[in-house]
């Protein structure tokens, strides 16, 4: 299994001070920035796009930016995000008409690629793409909003994805997104995750360093 990564979701940051907040969580020990793109069409909320990703790069954010696309259609926004400095681009299986093509497009643009699964989306979409993906993003809440409660059924699904990844023999990250906190991160890791998205559990704390350290502490036990 790969080393644990903590990925604060800037969905829960103060949008008026995005650059400052992204650099603050990185200085506090985060490994990457999770960038939630919502389009008020695939999901019932609206956030930010490639221009904001580019603005973070121009502000001086050097860490990986993990772009989680909750948009439909998927393909036409991919080149823009690659140019804007995305490191990884993931999209929801049901949002793309041609999953293999979308994955290929992401790779052609020089980014890591991955598929996202909603809590009730079956894993069979992975059957023929394990040789292409760099990451699987499992939603542990329904996408659209921060601050929701972790859906316990997801733990079983994490185990199933872990088995598929191990069987593939490839280095594929298993990222879990939604309702991750100090209280459940150890259990999520035990089920097989190696990358943890946390929005409200980090940004709602006054001390980011302490919030991230507490998560790492849980991961060590």
User: Which residues are known to be catalytic?
Assistant: 36, 177
- Bridge partner residues of 196 (DSSP): 6, 176
Q: Do β-strands 88-92 and 5-8 pair in parallel, antiparallel, or remain unpaired?
A: unpaired
- DSSP codes of every residue in 40-82: SSSSS-B---HHHHHHHHHHT--S-EEEEEE-SS-GGGHHHHH
| ∠ Cα 171 177 183 (to 5°) | 110
Q: Is 200 annotated as a binding residue?
A: yes
Nearest CB to ligand DX5, comparing residues 43 and 61: 43
Task: Rule CB under 6 A: say whether 201 interacts with ligand DX5.
Answer: yes
* Residue carrying the six token digits 């103060």: 14
Q: Which of 23, 54, 121, 148 binds ligand DX5 (CB under 6 A)?
A: 148
Q: To the nearest whole angstrom, how small is the minimum distance from the Cβ of residue 68 to Zn ion?
A: 4
Q: Is 124 annotated as a binding residue?
A: no
CA end-to-end distance (rounded Å), the chain: 16
Q: Which stretch binds ligand DX5 (CB under 6 A): 79-87, 88-96, 174-182, 208-216?
A: 174-182
Nearest CB to Zn ion, comparing residues 73 and 144: 144
Task: Tell me which residues touch ligand DX5 (CB under 6 A).
Answer: 9, 11-12, 34, 36, 68, 141, 143-144, 146-148, 177-180, 197-201
């Amino acid at each position: 299994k790969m080393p644990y990564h903590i990925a604060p979701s800037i969905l829960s940051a103060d949008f008026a001070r995005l650059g400052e907040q992204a650099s603050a969580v990185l200085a506090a020990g985060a490994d990457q920035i999770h960038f939630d793109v919502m389009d008020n069409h695939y999901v019932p909320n609206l956030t930010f796009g490639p221009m904001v990703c580019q603005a973070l790069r121009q502000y001086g954010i050097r860490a990986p930016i993990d772009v989680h696309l909750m948009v439909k259609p998927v393909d036409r926004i991919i080149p823009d995000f690659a140019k804007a400095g995305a490191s990884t681009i993931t999209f929801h299986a049901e949002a793309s008409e041609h999953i293999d093509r979308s994955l290929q497009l992401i790779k052609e643009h020089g980014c890591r690629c991955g598929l996202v699964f909603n809590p009730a989306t079956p894993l069979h979409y992975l059957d023929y793409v394990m040789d292409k993906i760099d990451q699987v993003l499992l939603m542990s809440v329904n996408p659209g909003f921060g601050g929701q409660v972790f859906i316990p059924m997801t733990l079983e699904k994490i185990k199933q994805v872990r088995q598929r990844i191990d069987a593939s023999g490839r280095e594929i990250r298993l990222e879990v997104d939604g309702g991750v906190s100090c209280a459940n991160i150890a259990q999520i890791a035990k089920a097989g995750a190696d990358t943890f998205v946390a929005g409200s559990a980090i940004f709602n704390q006054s001390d980011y360093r302490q919030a991230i350290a507490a998560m790492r502490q849980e991961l060590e036990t």
